[in-house]
Amino acid sequence: MASPATLPWSALAATAILLLASPECRGEANDGAEGTARAPAEIFVQVESNISVLGEMVSGSAKPGSFAYGLRIGFRKNRWDAFVQAEHGLWRDDEGVDSLSIQTINVGVGVGLSYFERHMRASLSIGPSILLTPSQLDDAGAVGIFLDLRPAGFRWPVGEHVVVELNPLTFAIVMPTMTGIPLLYFTYRTALLLEVRF
């Protein structure tokens, strides 16, 4: 488990600086067809999987701390989008259990912003986290909070309606129990998404 004091507020500041420094945010976008054309509104569906290994490697563990897969459905207009998401998360119990024995359902609503001529995307989502399996101190069914910050996702079009997005480093807070001794996971994750646009 992690302490809330470890929350990297510097990551939030770095995200804001990165977005404000982008040419599109400064009004310096290329005057080519991609920069001037207003993209039509579109609906998109994303399927994704993510895993946390970077933080564990730093601490000397070769085993993933979490794995999750999920679905996002959203609406995009120009560079901004809004979406709803649901993911099934599996987490390693810190009480000496090697397997991913703690399970949660994380649901959120979020916003995304495409930048660098839509080759990159940042997003932030928040919502409830529901504990599916009992932990050492908590019963299944407890409800807490979920937050997911993705400052830099790299996007590659594959055909006209499909995009692959890789987020090398994301920040997630999963706290399915908030009473007593909170069950809190703060993790760095790598996420891979496949997006279909309509």
Report residue 147 as tokens.
Answer: 């937050």
Q: What is the pLDDT along the chain (198 residues), one digit of tens a residue?
A: 444 444 455 555 555 555 555 555 554 444 444 444 577 899 999 999 999 987 555 555 556 678 999 999 999 999 999 999 999 999 887 655 567 788 999 999 999 999 999 999 999 999 999 999 987 778 899 999 999 999 999 999 998 999 999 999 999 999 999 888 888 888 899 999 999 999
Report residue 10 as tokens.
Answer: 């510097």
* Distance (Å, whole) CA 122 – CA 103: 26
- Each domain of the chain, given as residue ranges in start order, spans 10-16+43-197
* Distance (Å, whole) CA 145 – CA 107: 9
Cα–chain center distance at 57: 20
Report residue 121 as tokens.
Answer: 């995307």
**pTM for this predicted structure:** 0.78
Cβ(142)–Cβ(163) below 8 Å: no
Cβ(172)–Cβ(128) below 8 Å: no
Where do we find the tokens 């909070």?
145
Q: What is the pLDDT of residue 1?
A: 44
* Distance (Å, whole) CA 172 – CA 185: 8
Q: What is the pLDDT of residue 183?
A: 87
Q: How far apart are the first and last CA of the chain?
A: 40
Q: What is the pLDDT of residue 33?
A: 44
* Distance (Å, whole) CA 120 – CA 111: 14
Pick among 2.50.20.10, 3.40.50.300, 2.40.160.20, 3.30.420.40: CATH of 10-16+43-197: 2.40.160.20
